[in-house]
Structure 1
């Protein structure tokens, strides 16, 4: 799909704040709300814009301990089985299938160390995991560079 600099500006603005109205977007890129609406629908139909959703703050929900858990799958556990097991664990923020020594990197937000330890044990016992390597995240910078 071909898109121009105005499309890129619209995408960048929406990546920072998905609640912007077409009028607000139009004011920012010097177009009418109708013109922005047409561009939005084209970008959405073309698969560039997949979702507009709320991003929840784990810390505001009492999950202040953030970590990455590298996971090595047990023999016989499929990626689909593992990913389905993760969907039932509220601490899991995301999971990325990787190359290298470990199969997945799982991003988690836990309430405290005990919660993190319990989650790690759950992964080993019920999610087909043979080995984990956990690192606590001390600081994270969220960069929104959409295009």
Structure 2
């Protein structure tokens, strides 16, 4: 990926509402050239979506939990993936190495919400075992590493 494209992605990652002129000034391109690069980045899949970063506490989801899941052998992995991909509590789902099958990042209004999420997984018989970690605070959270990182 070209250095300019990466810088454009980084700038949009910091503020997806940033103007084309502002981005153009930073990368020394015209607004129309920046717009064309963004269109190409979207078309190739380098940019998958534009989003908003909301304050979890302001939208009543202050609890962050990380859930490690080992799937039951008889659980349908494709079904698990489909359920997790559409579950409103799940922010991230990663297929991982080691003794766990998946690592999930979820948000909930309270600990009862975390417990309800885990109960849902158990009722569907996805879980052979799990481990849940509650985040006490978040020091740093960002989408992508900074340019050149």
- TM superposition score normalised by structure 1: 0.86
Q: Which runs of 5 or more residues in structure 1 are unaligned?
A: none
Quote how far apart the aligned CAs of 1:127 are: 5.1
- Which secondary structure does the structure 2 equivalent of 1:60 belong to? coil
Q: Pairwise mapping of residues 1-40 of structure 1 onto structure 2 (< 5 A)?
A: 2-3=1-2, 5-40=3-38
Q: What number of residue pairs does the alignment pair up?
A: 145
Match of 1:145 in 2: 145
Quote how far apart the aligned CAs of 1:100 are: 1.0
Match of 1:125 in 2: 123
Quote how far apart the aligned CAs of 1:57 are: 3.5
State the Cα deviation string for residues 61-110 of structure 1 (Å, max 9, x = none): 21111110101111121322112222453222121111111101111111
Q: 1:108–1:26: structure 2 CA closer, same or farther, 3 Å change rule?
A: same
Q: Pairwise mapping of residues 56-95 of structure 1 onto structure 2 (< 5 A)?
A: 56-87=54-85, 89-95=87-93
Give the Cα–Cα distance (whole angstroms) in 2 for the partners of residues 58 and 125 of structure 1.
Answer: 27
Q: 1:65–1:17: structure 2 CA closer, same or farther, 3 Å change rule?
A: same
Quote how far apart the aligned CAs of 1:38 are: 1.9
Q: Which runs of 5 or more residues in structure 2 are unaligned?
A: none
Q: 1:57–1:126: structure 2 CA closer, same or farther, 3 Å change rule?
A: farther
Q: Pairwise mapping of residues 35-46 of structure 1 onto structure 2 (< 5 A)?
A: 35-46=33-44
Give the Cα–Cα distance (whole angstroms) in 2 for the partners of residues 34 and 117 of structure 1.
Answer: 50
Match of 1:53 in 2: 51
RMSD, aligned CA? 1.9
- TM superposition score normalised by structure 2: 0.85
